[in-house]
Structure 1
Amino acid sequence: MVVALVLVLGVALAGAAVYMAQQQISQFQSERDMLMAEQANAPQLVDVVVLRRALAYGERFTAADLGVIKMQEGHLPEGIFHIIATPQDAPEEAQAASVFPGGETRPRAALRSYDAYEAILANKITAPGVDAGIMATLSPNMRAFTISVNATTGVSGFLRPGDRVDVYWSGEVKGEKVTKLIDTNLRLIAIDQSADADRSEETKVATTVTAEVTPEQVAALTLAQGTGELTLSLVGMQNTSDPGAIEIDRNKLLGIQVQEAVKVESERVCTVKMRKGTELVETPIPCKN
């Protein structure tokens, strides 16, 4: 009886152990499946090149100043880099994604300030071997044109590189003072002698601003600046409308309506003269064409 009782107890314990093992295995499998599902739904990460130290505007950097971190794919800004440097025989796609492609060793410069471990962008750094300045910020086939301004004509010192402005001309036309919109949405690339968009002199009144224009706009603005006064108007970031043609003179400003003088032809009177004795008598008669 003792042997039988021990045998029955052993079988029961073995069954309980098998049941507990099956439950544990099922739990492990459920957790594994859940983890695999979460991994499948997790966002994909890609390599992104960042600066390992803070940079000020115009400061140079080399490949030694760069590092790589993981960032979520599909939520990256335009112009991001994925590779620090590539050799000359690397594929074209890898060269385009590299900060220093083709074994390039010349330093690049920052066109704005950067914090440590901030991702760098292609349009915020210069080409290899080029220092920061107006030459580095000009778009292809564009020119730099400098406009003299003061507190009144230069938006009281609130202009910064990267802002966009409308240009108004004020002068005399046929003896009348006129203000006219002559150019719109010009991009400023420098204030005084600084192209730094992060400059700290936020309220400093500039004496000159430099805009990015076409060669034709250079000729037009040169003539306008020599024949009158140019005034800048800051364009808002949310601006989407076209102001169209704007021209204001004194009469339009004050709401004065000028009527052109109409010459009224006086009524023609036809007469016939007759002499009666010593008197000359003039008698009206109907006029004939």
Structure 2
Amino acid sequence: MRMIFALFLVLGVGLAGVAVYMAQKTIAQSQAERDYLLASQAHMPALVDVVIVKHPLKYGERFTIDDLDTAKMQANKVPPGIFNTINAPQGTPEAKLAAFYTGETRPRAALRSYEANEPLLASKITAPGVDAGIMANLAPDMRAFTIQVDASTAVSGFLRPGDRVDVYWSGQVGDQPVTKLIDTNLKLIAIDQSADADRSEETQLARTVTAEVTPEQVAALTLAQSTGRLTLSLVGMKNTADLGTIEVDRNKLLGIQEQAVVKVEAPKVCTIKTRKGTDVIETEIPCN
């Protein structure tokens, strides 16, 4: 009987030791996992709230607060012009990064297409109550100027709203045809009657393009368009060159060197006239 009791006692102590060992191992593993998570969390980048669209939006489509949601995004990866909150009271610090003021019922409109869950950008939407169009694309104090074009003067129909172009003038200066760069890096805000930069229909030859310009540029382009022919040159996305002054005439194009015209004066002749009776005689004398 004592032997059985002793055996059970030893077995119980052994099981207790195993249980303590397993508990310590589990606790140590939990502490290691906790320390790893805390260390990972300490090295994780900060996250911020970003306003996103709940469903796809087409160019010009209106949206309200009900069409928006928020999501977390890495703080150092957010694009410029994002919103941090859907709505906030006007005049508060939060209102500067709010898509709508609290109580605003007027919709905004998309200036380009959006996919579902895509961040909303301030530069790609209109102000509340404003529909998409040329006025919504104009920067403060800028004007819209329309240039008449065709296939040969508008890059064969490959221009889109948002592209930038250089403008060349071709006309007559004196007795020579001349082509000159008159403006650079103009932003196009509409092609024909469309301001949609995401239009995906087949390439069509535009008859007009509308550019964003200053009032002074309006005057210069109006004069240029009435006195000659304007040609557009598409500017590349990675353009950084300063073009300076570009002007080509016929002689420069063909490499013709103009010869200076030297006027040769005829020798001066001096004479005197004398009368003999009814005859007048002209005699050559040295000129003084």
What residue in structure 1 maps to residue 174 of structure 2?
174
After superposition, residues 37-56 of structure 1 pair within 5 angstroms as 37-56=39-58
After superposition, residues 227-238 of structure 1 pair within 5 angstroms as 227-238=227-238
After alignment, is 161-170 or 69-78 more displaced?
A: 69-78
Deviation at 1:264, TM superposition (A): 5.0
Distance 2:18 2:110 in 1: 70
So what's the TM-score if we normalise by structure 1? Answer: 0.88
Deviation at 1:87, TM superposition (A): 2.9
After alignment, is 152-161 or 28-37 more displaced?
A: 28-37
Identify the match of residue 38 of structure 2 among 19, 33, 36. Answer: 36
1:48 is paired with a residue whose SS is strand
What residue in structure 2 maps to residue 86 of structure 1?
88
Distance 2:284 2:137 in 1: 89
Identity among equivalent pairs (%):
69
Instruction: Tell me if structure 2 keeps the 8 A contact 1:157–1:202.
Output: no
- CA distance 1:64–1:129, change in 2 (3 Å): same
Deviations 1:138-191 (CA, angstroms, capped at 9, x unpaired): 011111000000000111100000000000000000121100000000000000
Instruction: Tell me if structure 1 keeps the 8 A contact 2:167–2:184.
Output: yes
Distance 1:45 1:227 in 2: 58
Alignment length (residue pairs):
276
After superposition, residues 91-240 of structure 1 pair within 5 angstroms as 91=92, 93-240=93-240
After alignment, is 37-46 or 230-239 more displaced?
A: 37-46
Deviations 1:42-94 (CA, angstroms, capped at 9, x unpaired): 23222111111211111111111111122221100001011111234x62x21
- CA distance 1:13–1:165, change in 2 (3 Å): same
Unaligned ranges ≥5, structure 2: 271-282
Instruction: Tell me if structure 1 keeps the 8 A contact 2:269–2:284.
Output: no
What residue in structure 2 maps to residue 249 of structure 1?
249
Distance 1:262 1:160 in 2: 54
So what's the TM-score if we normalise by structure 2? Answer: 0.88
Distance 1:10 1:175 in 2: 117
Distance 1:17 1:84 in 2: 54
RMSD over aligned Cα, in angstroms?
A: 2.4
Instruction: Tell me if structure 2 keeps the 8 A contact 1:86–1:94.
Output: yes
Q: Which amino acid aligns with 1:109?
A: A
Deviations 1:116-136 (CA, angstroms, capped at 9, x unpaired): 221110000000000110100
Q: Which amino acid aligns with 2:85?
A: I
Q: Which amino acid aligns with 2:23?
A: A
Deviation at 1:39, TM superposition (A): 2.0
